[in-house]
C-alpha cells in the first residue's frame, strides 16, 4: 500500500496541472489531465509496479467506460440527425411559444429547459436563448440577476437530465452504471427541485412584472428563422417521446437511443424537403452546419455529429487511464480510507461525495473533473457499502454538474459571466436549481430516497417494507 503522502502528491500534481492549464492558459483539460496520468504512472513506478502492469491498469480503466464511450458516439449521431430532420428546431420553436411577459421567469426556465434537453448543452443554451432572454428581460425592466438565474437553472436542468448531455453520460461512466438507469434515478430529486424553481420564479415574476409593454421582437426573429429553415410540425416531437418511453420501459441505452435516431431520420425524410439519406449520413458524422444569417440560431444548431463528440470521448478515455492507475496501485484507496471515517452510513457517504465535487469544482475548476475524480475516488467505497452505482452517479450530477456555475473562476462560471454579461454574485442567489440541487440530494439521502442497494431498490422502500420495484 502506498503512503498517504504519496497518494496525495499524485492528486496534488493533477490539481496543479489542471489549474495551470485551465486557469492560467485557458486550455481544454485533456492534455493537463494526461500529464496527470504521467504523474500517476511515475508514482506507480516509484512504488515498485512494473510498466506492463501499469499499462494494463490503464486499459482496464478504459474498459470500464467502454459502454459510455459507445453511447457518447451514438448520441453524437443522434444530435446531428435530429437537427437535420427538424426535431431539435421544432422543440425549440414550440418552447419559444410559451414565452409570456406575465410569467417571464417561468417561461425563461421552460424555454432553456427544453432547449438544453433537446441539444444536451448548457453552454449552447445560455449562449443563444440565454442571451436573447437577457435582452427581453432588460426591455421588460426585470432584475437581470433573476433573469440570469432562471436561464441558468433551465440550462443546467437539461445539462443534468438530457441523455444527449456529455455530463449525463460521464457520471454513470465514472460510477459504473448505464445512462438510462442513471437518468431514471435522478428524476425524483430533480423533479422536487424543479417544482420549487417553478414556484420561486412564479413569485419573482409576479413581484417584478407590472404589465408594461413587452418587446418580443427577438423571440419572433428566432421563431421566424426556425420556421423558415425547417418545416416545423408537432409530429417531429415524436422521436424525443420515443426515447422517453424507452427510458420508462427500461430499454437498454444503446437500442433506446438508436430508436430515437431511426425515428428522427424517418420524420426528416417525410417532413424536410432538403433532408436525404446523404445529409443524414453527413450530419450523423460531422454534425449539422446552420447558415441562416441569424447568429444565435446558427450557433445553436451548428452541432452534433460523431466527430464533435470526440471531445467528450477523449476526455473519458484519459480520465479512466488516470483512474485505472490510481485504483490498481491503491492510491485512491488510501485517500478514501482517511475520508471514509467521516462517512459511516450511505447518507453521509453521499454527503461526502457532494462536498468533494464542490471542492473539485473550486480547486480543479472544470466541470468534467469534478465528476471524474470524485467518481473514481468513491466508486469502490459505494460497492463495499452495498450500494448501487446509480447512487454515486446521482450524487456526482447533483453537485459536480450544477455547482460549477456558482464558482466564478470555474470554466462554467467564467463562460456565464462573459456570455450573459452579469457577475456571479448577481445571479448566484437566483440560480435556484444549481444551489438547491445538492441540498435536496443530501436531504433525500438521509430519507433513503437517493440511496439504493445493490439491487437498485431505494432504501426508503425497504424501510417501509414495500416491494422492491423502484429500480
pLDDT digits (tens, 9 = 90+) for 278-323: 999 999 999 999 887 777 778 778 878 899 888 878 877 888 888 8
Q: Is residue 41 part of a domain?
A: no
What is the SS3 string spanning the chain?
A: CCCHHHHHHHHHHHHHHHHHHHHHCCCCCHHHHHHHHHHHHHHHHHCCCCHHHHHHHHHHHHHHCHHHHHHHHHHHHHHHHHHHCCHHHHHHHHHHCCCCHHHHHHHHHHHHHHHHHHHCCHHHHHHHHHHHHHHHHHHCCCCHHHHHHHHHHHHHHHHHHCCCCHHHHHHHHHHCCCHHHHHHHHHHHHHHHHHHHHHHHHHHHHHHCCCCCCCCHHHHHHHHHHHHHCCCCHHHHHHHHHHHHHHHCCCCHHHHHHHHHHHHHHHHHHHCCCCCHHHHHHHHHHCCCCCCCCHHHHHHHCCCCCHHHHHHHHHHHHHHHHHHHHHHCCHHHHHHHHHHHHCCCHHHHHHHHHHHHHHHHHHCCCHHHHHHHHHHHHHHHHHHCCECHHHHHHHHHHHHHCHHHHCCCCHHHHHHHHHHCCCHHHHHHHCHHHHHHHHHHHHHHHHCCCCEECCCCEHHHHHCCCCCCCC
Give 246-285 pLDDT, tens digit per residue.
877 878 878 888 998 999 999 999 999 999 999 999 999 9
pLDDT for position 467: 43
| pLDDT tens figures, 61-77 | 888 778 778 877 887 89
The count of structural domains within the chain is 1
For residue 469, pLDDT over 50 is answered with no
List, for residues 205-234, the tens digit of each pLDDT value.
888 766 555 567 777 887 888 888 899 999
Q: What is the mean pLDDT of residues 407-418?
A: 82
Domain presence at residue 409: no
Domain assignment present for 134? yes
Highest averaged pLDDT of the listed ranges 111-120, 144-153, 454-463: 144-153
- 177 in a structural domain: yes
325-348 tens-digit pLDDT: 988 998 878 887 888 788 889 999
Task: Classify residue 168: in a domain, yes or no.
Answer: yes
* Residue 187 belongs to some domain of the structure: yes
Residue 4 domain-assigned (yes or no): no
With a cut of 70, say whether residue 400 has pLDDT above it. Answer: yes
Instruction: Give the structural domain span for 252.
Output: 67-309
Amino acid at each position: 500500500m502506498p503512503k498517504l503522502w504519496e497518494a496525495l502528491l499524485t492528486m496534488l500534481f493533477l490539481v496543479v496541472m489542471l489549474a495551470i492549464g485551465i486557469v492560467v492558459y485557458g486550455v481544454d483539460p485533456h492534455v493537463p489531465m494526461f500529464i496527470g496520468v504521467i504523474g500517476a504512472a511515475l508514482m506507480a513506478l516509484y512504488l515498485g509496479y512494473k510498466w506492463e502492469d501499469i499499462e494494463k491498469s490503464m486499459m482496464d480503466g478504459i474498459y470500464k467506460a467502454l459502454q459510455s464511450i459507445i453511447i457518447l458516439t451514438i448520441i453524437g449521431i443522434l444530435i446531428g440527425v435530429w437537427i437535420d430532420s427538424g426535431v431539435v428546431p421544432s422543440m425549440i420553436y414550440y418552447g419559444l411559444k410559451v414565452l409570456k411577459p406575465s410569467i417571464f421567469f417561468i417561461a425563461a426556465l421552460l424555454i432553456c429547459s427544453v432547449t438544453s434537453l433537446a441539444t444536451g448543452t448548457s453552454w449552447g443554451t445560455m449562449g443563444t436563448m440565454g442571451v436573447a432572454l437577457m435582452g427581453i428581460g432588460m426591455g421588460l425592466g426585470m432584475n437581470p440577476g433573476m433573469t440570469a438565474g432562471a436561464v441558468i437553472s433551465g440550462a443546467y436542468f437539461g445539462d443534468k437530465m438530457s441523455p444527449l448531455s456529455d455530463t449525463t453520460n460521464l457520471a454513470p461512466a465514472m460510477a459504473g452504471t448505464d445512462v438510462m438507469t442513471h437518468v431514471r434515478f435522478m428524476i425524483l430529486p430533480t423533479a422536487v427541485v424543479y417544482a420549487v424553481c417553478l414556484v420561486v420564479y412564479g413569485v419573482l415574476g409576479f413581484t417584478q412584472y407590472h404589465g408594461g409593454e413587452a418587446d418580443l421582437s427577438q423571440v419572433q426573429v428566432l421563431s421566424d428563422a426556425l420556421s423558415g429553415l425547417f418545416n416545423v410540425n408537432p409530429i417531429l416531437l415524436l422521436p424525443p417521446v420515443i426515447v422517453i418511453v424507452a427510458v420508462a420501459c427500461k430499454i437498454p441505452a444503446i437500442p433506446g437511443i438508436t430508436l430515437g435516431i431511426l425515428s428522427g431520420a424517418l420524420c426528416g425524410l417525410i417532413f424536410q424537403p432538403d433532408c436525404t439519406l446523404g445529409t443524414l449520413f453527413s450530419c450523423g458524422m460531422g454534425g449539422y452546419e446552420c447558415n441562416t444569417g441569424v447568429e444565435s440560431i446558427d450557433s445553436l444548431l451548428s452541432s452534433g455529429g460523431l466527430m464533435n463528440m470526440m471531445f467528450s470521448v477523449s476526455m473519458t478515455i484519459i480520465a479512466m487511464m488516470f483512474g485505472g492507475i490510481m485504483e490498481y496501485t491503491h492510491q485512491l484507496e488510501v485517500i478514501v480510507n482517511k475520508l471514509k471515517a467521516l462517512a459511516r452510513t450511505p447518507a453521509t457517504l453521499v454527503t461526502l461525495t457532494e462536498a468533494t465535487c464542490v471542492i473539485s469544482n473550486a480547486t480543479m475548476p472544470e466541470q468534467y473533473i469534478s465528476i471524474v475524480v470524485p467518481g473514481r475516488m468513491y466508486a469502490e467505497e459505494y460497492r463495499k457499502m452495498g450500494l448501487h452505482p446509480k447512487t454515486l452517479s446521482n450524487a456526482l450530477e447533483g453537485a459536480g454538474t450544477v455547482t460549477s456555475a456558482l464558482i466564478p473562476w470555474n470554466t462554467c462560471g467564467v463562460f456565464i459571466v462573459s456570455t450573459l454579461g452579469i457577475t456571479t454574485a448577481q445571479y448566484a442567489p437566483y440560480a435556484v436549481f444549481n444551489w438547491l440541487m445538492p441540498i435536496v440530494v443530501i436531504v433525500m439521502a438521509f430519507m433513503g430516497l437517493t440511496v439504493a442497494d445493490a439491487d437498485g431498490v431505494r432504501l426508503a422502500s425497504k424501510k417501509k417494507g414495500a416491494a422492491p420495484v423502484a429500480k
